[in-house]
Amino acid sequence: MRVWWFCLWLLYSCAAKAAFPVGAEVFTGTAGCEAIKVVRASEPSEWIKLKPGDPSRSGDIWVRMPLPPAWPPQTLVIPSEFARQLWIYRPGIEDPEFRSIFTRRSPQDGTAYWYRIPLLAPEPGQLLLCLRSPQATPSLMQVLPEARQVERELNLRALVAASVAVIVAMASFALIFGFVLRDQIYFWYCAHLFNFMIWYSVSSWLLGQSVSLGVDAARWLLIIPTIFSALSTYFVTLFAVNFMALQLHYPRWSRLLQSASFVILMLGLLSVLTLWLPIPRRWLVNAQNLSLGLLTLALLATAIRLAFRGQRYARYFATGWTPLLILVVISVISSLQDAYVAQLLRVALLPAVAFEAFLLSIGLADRTLALKLERDAAMQAAERDSLTGVLNRRGFEGRWAAQAASDQPGALLICDLDHFKRINDQYGHPAGDQCLKRFAERAERVLPPDALLGRFGGEEFLVYLPSADGGEAQRQAEQLRAEIAAAPVVVESE
């Protein structure tokens, strides 16, 4: 439990404590970024000063800050979702510099997650920046040494690559096992991971391309993540219901969860209608996000309840899904409030899904092993005599037929215990059972390891000796008879 609290605290610390530029002032007002020359000459009186903890807002945000020292080189870091366009006035340069965050950029400008601007100028003085953004909050801007930011981006790329490798490996594992075992639960799990990767990839790609693609293309492409998010939710609900066997524990609740996932799927597919019908897409997105958040909490609560009741597969699900479900709920709450979803939150989804994929793959392997053991136990019960533990008639005939089909020589011994009916009549059936057990134990000790021993019925036993001729069979039969005769079974008479 302490580990979970530490992870939550670490996530909150990383998401909420971004470094606000030292000495920077952030304002908002009626003046647009196009008026940066006028604003540089004289500050408008209607400006409102913003604090680092202020909520996100749309529009133009102005940043005024002193130029940092030239060494070590400093860079202003802005999350890619934070900005759309940027105007910069550097001291010593007459004209402002304009940058579009959405245009294709070189690697030195940052990754798809961060956009970085080198803070260099010919002479010291005040930097003036204007940031145009649909959802912006001043607390997410950072001034960092350039080398530190490059190292952070390299670490991020390594984390993303490792997470993708784990997800792909686990999805391949599920797909292969699904075809081999012909179990649909593996296909549902693979479909969940596949749709999640499409959703994440398209969302990340659209982050830097939606403006350059144009309004019409962006409307079409923005529907794709919505549909694949709904598909991923639908398939993971089917997986969870069957993985935790909710039909046996909570049949009505199981049907309700599946119905909720179907509603989310329909909301995702209905988003296509917003291209032709006057339906506000935001309504469908909010309804889908709200349903997704409620379904997520319901799955987690169900898994935790079953885990406390001792259901081992629910423990796998609850442990593997807790980090991901926490991120999903936070994302849903943020989107419903029209607040900016922290950059780290979106990046953290991949490692969370990789952790879930790895742990649930172990759970699937455990489930497969348990099913195999149950099948082996059922087969053992079907082919073994319950009293003596040797093969019964069905098991012996099946294995003898397989041996005989190989055209190898062999010998068959038919053993019948003398006076067995008299033992049952005089000493009772428990004494007769003891005699049958002792015979089976001694026969297994005397006979060769490759011999087949089976109880054919009552006091009759069969022994098949592969690769044995008549002389060898006679020798084995005499050795078995001598072993039984040398140590009689002693029973107490009632």
DSSP-derived secondary structure letter, 391? B
**Of the candidates 2, 6, 107, 10, the residue with the CA atom closest to the CA atom of residue 345:** 10
Q: For residue 280, say if its preceding peptide bond is cis, omega within 30 degrees of 0.
A: no
pLDDT in tens, 402-424: 777 777 778 888 888 888 888 88
Average pLDDT across the chain, whole number: 77
pLDDT in tens, 439-477: 888 888 888 888 888 888 888 888 888 888 888 888 888
Query: Residue 262 pLDDT more than 50?
Result: yes
End-to-end CA distance of the chain: 60
- pLDDT category of residue 15 using cuts at 50, 70 and 90: very low
Residue that has been written with the tokens 């404590």 in this structure: 17
- Evaluate if pTM is beyond 0.75: no
Query: Residue 1 pLDDT more than 70?
Result: no
DSSP-derived secondary structure letter, 14? H
What's the Rg (C-alpha) of the chain?
36
- pLDDT of amino acid 2: 47
CA distance 240 to 245: 8
**Of the candidates 421, 451, 447, 452, the residue with the CA atom closest to the CA atom of residue 436:** 421
Q: Which of the pair, 282 or 129, is modelled with greater confidence?
A: 129
Taking residues 296-319, what's their average pLDDT?
88
- pLDDT of amino acid 154: 79
Instruction: Report whether 462 contacts 454 (CB < 8 A).
Output: yes
pLDDT in tens, 78-130: 766 556 677 888 887 878 888 776 554 454 555 556 777 787 777 788 888 88
Taking residues 42-50, what's their average pLDDT?
64
- pLDDT of amino acid 16: 39
Per-residue HEC secondary structure of 318-345 comes to: HHHHHHHHHHHHHHHHHHHCCCCCCHHH
- Range scoring the smallest mean pLDDT among 7-16, 204-213, 331-340, 380-389: 7-16
- pLDDT of amino acid 210: 46
- pLDDT category of residue 153 using cuts at 50, 70 and 90: confident
- pLDDT of amino acid 339: 42
What is the largest distance, in Å, between two alpha-carbon atoms of the chain? 120
Instruction: Report whether 324 contacts 356 (CB < 8 A).
Output: yes
Q: How many CB atoms lie within 10 A of CB 82?
A: 24
